[in-house]
Amino acid sequence: MGTGHNATCCRKLRKINKNMPTYEYQCEACEEYFTKFLSIPNMNQPTEEACPNCGEIRVQKVMFTAPTIGDAVRLRIRRPDNGFKEVLQKIHERTPGSTLKNNSSYI
Ligand SMILES: [Zn+2]
């Protein structure tokens, strides 16, 4: 009598430990996103640690209501950045200037 409360508590705890929640963090210094598997009592731990990318201790926990929103935000931030770098690299590869000019002057 009155001990049903304890049983549900134990079941909840076991479920949490089995499925370790993942948390998203973002560094304010370099804007790098990273994910950590942490138990709930440790979820703020990465905000006190150095960023794995640049070493700054400016990591913020990112709160997302749904995982799809998180992915969309991350892709929107990352895709143009990588695409832009690729384009720049291609332009750079295509226009080294010297080899093209040398070839045409030989012909
Ligand atoms: Zn960083």
Digit-coded pLDDT (tens) for 23-52: 999 999 999 999 998 988 999 999 999 999
Q: Evaluate whether residue 62 is within a structural domain.
A: yes
What is the 18 CA–ligand 1 centroid distance (Å)? Answer: 30
Output the CA angle 100-101-107, nearest 5 degrees: 95
Q: How far is the CA of 24 from the centre of ligand 1 (A)?
A: 14
Number of domains in the chain: 1
Residue 27: which H helix or E strand, with range? Answer: strand 22-27
For residue 78, the CA-to-ligand 1 centroid distance in Å is 15
Structure tokens at 40: 């709930």
Pairwise CA distance, residues 46 & 35, whole Å: 10
Query: How close is the Cα of 50 to the center of ligand 1, in Å?
Result: 8
The pLDDT of residue 98 is 54
Q: Is 44 within the bounds of a domain?
A: yes
pLDDT, position 88: 75
pLDDT tens profile 71-102? 555 555 555 556 667 777 887 787 766 555 55
Q: Which domain holds residue 31?
A: 19-106
Q: Is residue 12 part of a domain?
A: no
CA–centroid distance, residue 45 to ligand 1 (Å): 15
